[in-house]
Structure 1
Amino acid sequence: MSTANALAEAGHNVTVVSMLRPKRMHKDIHLILVPMTKEQERSMDNTMSSMAKSKNDIISTMFLLLNDLGVMVNTQADLLSDPRFLRIYQTKFDLMILGSFFNDFQLGVAAKLKVPVIVDFMIPSNIMIDQFVANPFEISYVPNESTFATPPMTFLKRAENMMKHVILRYLTLRFDYKFIEIYNEIFTEKDMPTLSEMKKNISLVFVGSHLISDGPIRPLVPALIEIGGIQVKEKPDPLPQDIEQFLDNSTQGAIFLSFGSNIKSHMVKPEIVQIMFNVLSGLKENIIWKWEDLGNTPGKALNILFKRWLPQDDILAHPNTKLFVSHGGKNSITESQYHGVPMVALPIFGDHPLNAAMMVKLGNGVALDLQTITEDSFGAAIKEVLENDKYRRAVEKFSALYRDRPLTPRQSVVFWTNYVLRHHGAPHLQSPAVHMSFVELHNLDIYALVLTILILFVLLTRLIGKLVLSKLLGKAKVFGGKKKQ
């Protein structure tokens, strides 16, 4: 939505198709809302609740998306046949921006509209996104989302990274087969390009990173544009009156606690919630806690304000916010770093553990295992970050670096979108590797030829050696025989 809002502010005519009603939307955007059914919502909430009660990484999350959490993929396929969505084919568009989340099959929409495509990915590029623009994998020094390490990696960590890269590659192939199956079921027209052909005609990819500041440094092809932090407003919006008053009165400082939009607080194990409440209710600081079920809060405390929804970016921008207790989502960490607020991270699933590890490496806070926290460990972590000034200094240094760019994320989105429109898809930005086969890309045919020549050379050398040796031995026998006579 930040990308859509930036384009609408720049004067573009923007239509947004979404399954969730946006919290913030430019007044001129045309919204097509296709919400999930109650049954789909219940199925997803049950799975997310299960994930919040166990330890997960990106590999286990991808397995869930292939199985128990398949509703997140299937609903995106169902959307394409909804009458509310089908109306878009009656309108002429110039460009499609695909919000990417295990929905490659939706590229068929761009094929039917005959428009170029920009993929918009909310977190840093990964193995599934890199393939769109042939961005190179650097597994020797770039940890993947499942390897909880920060560069430089030890020998064992590099071995782990390589092994997990192979697993992620396998899972990516599994998803590719699933996406092709869905694509072929939905887009049955005879003149439709294949999904593989559509993937080779993506103009750009926007990704939610800024590697100069948050790392790890790695090569990026020209078609991969970093817009990390685009959701952060350049000027915070006014806070709701009760929240503003609560924060203004927090003379001892305020702590903000939120597990993001996907994990609702009641999904966390009750005993862990109680541990957190016991610690937070005993602090001198005020607490703003994102809690969706206001009729069933963990308890009552004068220093805790429970709210169903909170303007996270605006709260983090308030000068009295001294600490952010977060699940470790990339956007949450980015907003906290941007505003110079140190963190205590409690990662839950997906990329959260790696985000938390990178945040700790930068000295912007500490991380704990949510499933094993105790009152002592949670209290000690909060005390450490609040009372040790090194975390605030480190995150403020990061904030200055993060903001220092030639273009803001919004300006980058507008410029590169206009660039793609001006140059009719900008195919000249594509890496040649996009159109190469696996064998060609990795020079396997050349290696095979060189190996074949070497093998033939060795065999031929051995054959010639045998012939020469045979001749020599033959002559020796002849001469030996003559001496005996």
Structure 2
Amino acid sequence: MVISRIRDREPLICPNYEITTKIFIKMIFRVFFLSIIILYSVSWNLVVIDGAKILGLFAHPSESHFAVMRSLMMELAKREHNVTVYSSHRLNERVENLREIIVEPEFPFWKQLLEVTGSQAGGLLKARELTEWTMQKSLAHTGATAVNYFLSNASLKKLLNLPINEFDYDLIIVDLFYTEALLAVGHFYGKPTIGLLSTNFENYMDRVLEQMVPTTCSPICYENYQPDAGFWKRLGVIRNCLSRRNQFTKDNWGAQESVIRKHFAHFKGVSDLNIATLQTELSVLLLNSHVPLLTPRPLLLNTITAGGMHIRPPRQLPWLLRRFLDESRAGVVYMNLGNEQLCADIPTHIMQLLLNSLGKRKERVVWTCHDHSALKDLPANIMVQHAVAQADILAHPHVNAFLMNGDLLSMQEGIMRHVPMIGVPIFRNEVRNMELAVRLGVGVHLNYDNLTETSLSWALQTIKEDSKYQLTIRQVATTFRDRPLGAVETCMYWMDYVLRHQGGADLKTLGVGIPSSQLHLFDLFIYYFAIALLSISVLAAAFYGIMILMRKREIGKMYSKLS
């Protein structure tokens, strides 16, 4: 808007400026046309929906899993949505339009898992020796127990007993980690549901995708594909895939369906409901992964890769921690060996090895440990903390090495903050992640069973002195970030999309949950095999009949000659 000073006229608005009648009329017309455009856009749903009522149901008690949920729920609240969260962890921030209901006490997921597997004495180290099938079955049982505990809470019971006309939420968001029973809330109340896969623990992400994406169960392994894969290798891959699908359906889905029948018994049709039906109703599935950490593979239209959704811009560190990091001119090693194992439960020889090796170094060490009070008599260069987000610590410019257990979320944070990693994994999924880190050139993998002071010192020195790790991790981070929208913005877009477009019905694929026999055309092959067998039988019978007739004719000719 142009404001000119006109001499010899009284000012219309401000004593220092005069506006001509012509400019004033132009300004009125601009406001009028702008209002028309805004009203037109609203009438055609061309703007982002504000003020939706969103319900978050997060039954899995893991703190690392909830880091993803915390980030997304806070972002939704800041965008003026009315958010209600049921979980075992607090958001640690106060927002006027965000309400949180804490399910306490927290369900002891890992303790329960050890009891189910009979690994209480040896802890997680003994549990890792279990076969993949035993671990899968144990996780399915423990997951169903955790969901049952979650839904048995008085606040959840009150929610599930609401009449349908009083359940006024516009969108439901659930964390999928052996918690498929929560999808029943959206089913019975007729509300769109978005699922979040925040982890790949025990390849859970692969198993979910194998259930949701028919083409995923293919005769090739996408991560280890070789063009010259022979017949028997491809046959073995597809047999393993089909076996995984069947066991996942039997163990996990079976347990989750039992939970549904218990807690949703007052709804009509609960006895006939199954997880396959609930997955077909899922509006969007958000995966916390992205290339190059996720191997490209066939995905459904409503399966969205949004790796790094829990990583937000770094915040200022507490004064004491910031000073400890700032004053370390030799650099800083950050260490977090996972939330599943308390520091007090680390074997004595491993603990002594870590303290001896790290205590001798010039770098300072920040160790995230939830039971920090259990650690005593630490070397002067080691600080133990438990309350600060590790992504904020990794963002400090003096942190040049990340000693970790191979967790996917930690790996993403290390890449995004350009901090090369030293992995000491225990479980198979952690080993798999560190193998990927080595292939990408962003980390070093140390075997837990053969960990020594020499190997740990070598790894720290290699990460510090070999510049290729610093260069490569920046290239990987650039690839990880290179997408039309950032991770959080991608999630926000698809959540708004579901709200704008009637639950995202146009994204859903009807073929989700297709039986293996139909998926791989077994029934059709049997039909064609039967037709082929019948045709061969008819031809064989005709040939046999002709041979018999010819034989009889020859015998008849012989007798006629003799007579």
Alignment TM-score > 0.5, same fold: yes
Q: Aligned pair count?
A: 474
Whether 1:179 and 2:256 are equivalent positions in the alignment is yes
Residue type matched to 1:18 in 2?
S
How big is each residue's C-alpha offset from its partner over 1:48-102, in whole Å with a ceiling of 9 and x where there is no partner? 88114553586453233245xx2x5323212223222234335410111111111
Question: Which consecutive unaligned segments of at least 5 residues does structure 1 have?
Answer: 144-149
Question: CA separation in 2, counterparts of 1:251 and 1:161?
Answer: 51
Equivalences for residues 240-259 of structure 1 within 5 A: 240-259=318-337
Paired residue for 1:147? none
Instruction: Compute the RMSD of aligned alpha carbons.
Output: 2.8
The alpha-carbon distance between structure 1 residues 294 and 214, as it changes in their structure 2 partners (threshold 3 A), is: closer
Paired residue for 2:418? 340
> Which secondary structure does the structure 1 equivalent of 2:372 belong to?
coil
Question: CA separation in 2, counterparts of 1:85 and 1:437?
Answer: 33
Equivalences for residues 64-463 of structure 1 within 5 A: 64-66=138-140, 70=142, 72-88=143-159, 89=162, 91-123=167-199, 125-132=205-212, 134=214, 136-138=216-218, 140-143=220-223, 150-152=224-226, 164-172=240-248, 173-193=250-270, 194-196=273-275, 197-211=277-291, 213-233=292-312, 235-297=313-375, 299-349=377-427, 351-434=429-512, 436-463=514-541
Q: Of residues 18, 30, 36 in structure 1, which corresponds to 2:99?
A: 30
The alpha-carbon distance between structure 1 residues 35 and 129, as it changes in their structure 2 partners (threshold 3 A), is: farther
Question: CA separation in 2, counterparts of 1:273 and 1:84?
Answer: 42
Residue type matched to 1:168 in 2?
R
The alpha-carbon distance between structure 1 residues 19 and 158, as it changes in their structure 2 partners (threshold 3 A), is: farther
- Cα pair 1:328 1:355 within 8 Å, conserved: yes
Identity %: 23
The alpha-carbon distance between structure 1 residues 341 and 82, as it changes in their structure 2 partners (threshold 3 A), is: same
Residue type matched to 2:136 in 1?
M
- Cα pair 2:290 2:306 within 8 Å, conserved: yes
Paired residue for 2:77? 8
> Which secondary structure does the structure 2 equivalent of 1:275 belong to?
helix
Question: CA separation in 2, counterparts of 1:250 and 1:151?
Answer: 45
- Cα pair 2:144 2:255 within 8 Å, conserved: no
Whether 1:21 and 2:65 are equivalent positions in the alignment is no
The alpha-carbon distance between structure 1 residues 462 and 39, as it changes in their structure 2 partners (threshold 3 A), is: closer
Deviates more, 1:359-368 or 1:433-442: 433-442
How big is each residue's C-alpha offset from its partner over 1:312-341, in whole Å with a ceiling of 9 and x where there is no partner? 101111111111111111100001011111
The alpha-carbon distance between structure 1 residues 135 and 229, as it changes in their structure 2 partners (threshold 3 A), is: farther
How big is each residue's C-alpha offset from its partner over 1:192-222, in whole Å with a ceiling of 9 and x where there is no partner? 45133323211110111103x2231211111
Deviates more, 1:278-287 or 1:14-23: 14-23
Question: Which consecutive unaligned segments of at least 5 residues does structure 2 have?
Answer: 1-68
Question: CA separation in 1, counterparts of 2:286 and 2:113?
Answer: 27
The alpha-carbon distance between structure 1 residues 237 and 152, as it changes in their structure 2 partners (threshold 3 A), is: farther
Deviates more, 1:460-469 or 1:74-83: 74-83
- Cα pair 2:197 2:287 within 8 Å, conserved: yes
The alpha-carbon distance between structure 1 residues 254 and 229, as it changes in their structure 2 partners (threshold 3 A), is: same
TM-score by length of 1: 0.89
Question: CA separation in 2, counterparts of 1:400 and 1:355?
Answer: 19
Whether 1:61 and 2:141 are equivalent positions in the alignment is no
The alpha-carbon distance between structure 1 residues 192 and 4, as it changes in their structure 2 partners (threshold 3 A), is: farther
Structure 1 residue 410: Cα displacement: 1.4
TM-score by length of 2: 0.77
> Which secondary structure does the structure 2 equivalent of 1:214 belong to?
coil
> Which secondary structure does the structure 2 equivalent of 1:433 belong to?
coil
The alpha-carbon distance between structure 1 residues 294 and 202, as it changes in their structure 2 partners (threshold 3 A), is: closer
Deviates more, 1:30-39 or 1:9-18: 30-39
Q: Which has the higher contact order (CA 8 A, sep 6+)?
A: 1
Question: CA separation in 2, counterparts of 1:133 and 1:421?
Answer: 24
- Cα pair 1:272 1:371 within 8 Å, conserved: no
The structure whose Rg is larger is: 2
> Which secondary structure does the structure 2 equivalent of 1:217 belong to?
coil
